[in-house]
Chains A and B, each alone.
Chain A
């Protein structure tokens, strides 16, 4: 994702590292997120697989449903990278389309998560405070969902900006790059959650 940064920001060359400070900051921020999600995943690994008298998440996972959600999020990474690629070619119409598609796929994923939570709470009677396993599950997937929601908000903001301004400026191009990085990061965290929390836990 260096094209835009180098073609649109002349002051890049004056950074002592040769990398735009905002871009470096974004990567450092994402790197620090490993610690945040690492804590939540470790918490789940400690408590999520234990047995309790009350219902635990691994007894009620709907793997086909979650697999579909995972597929949707994975494909949203494709549409995101296509949006960025289109903008680097200054294809404003395609950029707009792919940004909207990414936001829509993210919304589908979020809808799926809301449905899953609703089912767990109402049909299965498992809430945040049912037992440590349920707490760790809701905390981890809930915080991931909040990250996805933030991403969707940023995506639709960019989409709205492009509609209002008629085109995304070169400065917005950098924003697309940063939002893209954030979005892909949310995706890789879900790749880990899907395997460790759902597949390995329910197996």
Chain B
């Protein structure tokens, strides 16, 4: 099973870093403009931007998008397991606080 694919060029890596830096700047900007933008929207955008950066680093810098699907499955299994487990934990605490 071959997993070799064409990888991005250094120029492409620098471009991705630029995008990540801009996204970080937007995040910080949103933090300071929360009242102007609206708390709900600002918070949603902050989470969305973090997710884009998260996926960007995994996909391009960790090269997961160029790797075997098996690695993606192993890696995402841990991520979703953690997300599910702690969603249940936090949900239980929230529920207990309500009751």
Taking Cβ atoms with an 8 Å cutoff, the residues of A that contact B are 1-3, 6, 17-19, 23-24, 27-28, 30-35, 37-39, 41-42, 45-46, 63-64, 67, 70-71, 74-75, 77-78, 80-82, 85, 88, 180-181, 184-185, 187-188, 191-192, 194-196, 199-200, 202-203
Per-residue CB proximity of B28-67 to A under 8 Å, as 1/0? 1011001000010011001101100110011011110011
A18 touches B7 (CB 8 A): no
Taking Cβ atoms with an 8 Å cutoff, the residues of B that contact A are 1-5, 7, 10, 13-14, 16-17, 20-21, 24, 27-28, 30-31, 34, 39, 42-43, 46-47, 49-50, 53-54, 57-58, 60-63, 66-68, 70-71, 74-79, 81-83, 85-86, 89-90, 93
A28 touches B74 (CB 8 A): yes
A-B CB contacts (within 8 Å), total count: 144
Instruction: Tell me the minimal C-beta distance from A26 to chain B in angstroms.
Output: 9
A199 touches B27 (CB 8 A): yes
B31 touches A41 (CB 8 A): no
Give CA–CA (A200, B63) in the complex, Å.
29
B77 touches A31 (CB 8 A): yes
Contact of A74 (CB < 8 Å), options: B17, B85, B89, B90: B17
Contact of A184 (CB < 8 Å), options: B58, B71, B85: B58
Given known A-B contacts A34-B82, A35-B85, A75 and B17 have beta carbons under 8 A apart: yes
Listed residue (A2, A67, A191, A192) with the most chain B CB atoms within 10 angstroms of its CB? A191
B21 touches A85 (CB 8 A): no
Chain A interface secondary structure, helix, strand, loop or mixed?
Answer: helix
Contacts A19-B68, A24-B71 given; 9 further ones with Cβ under 8 A?
A1-B7, A17-B70, A19-B1, A34-B79, A67-B24, A74-B53, A81-B61, A191-B57, A195-B46
Given known A-B contacts A63-B28, A191-B54, A203-B43, A34 and B78 have beta carbons under 8 A apart: yes
B75 touches A30 (CB 8 A): yes
Across the interface, name the chain B residue whose C-beta is closest to A70.
B24
Q: Which residues of A contact B30 (CB under 8 A)?
A: 199
B63 touches A1 (CB 8 A): yes
Across the interface, name the chain A residue whose C-beta is closest to B32.
A63
Contact of A3 (CB < 8 Å), options: B7, B39, B53, B58: B7
Given known A-B contacts A17-B70, A19-B71, A187-B57, A45 and B90 have beta carbons under 8 A apart: yes
15 residue pairs bridging A and B, Cβ less than 8 Å apart: A1-B7, A18-B1, A19-B70, A23-B71, A28-B74, A35-B78, A37-B82, A71-B24, A74-B21, A74-B53, A78-B17, A184-B58, A191-B54, A199-B27, A203-B46
Q: Which residues of B contact A181 (CB under 8 A)?
A: 62
Instruction: Tell me the minimal C-beta distance from A98 to chain B in angstroms.
Output: 10
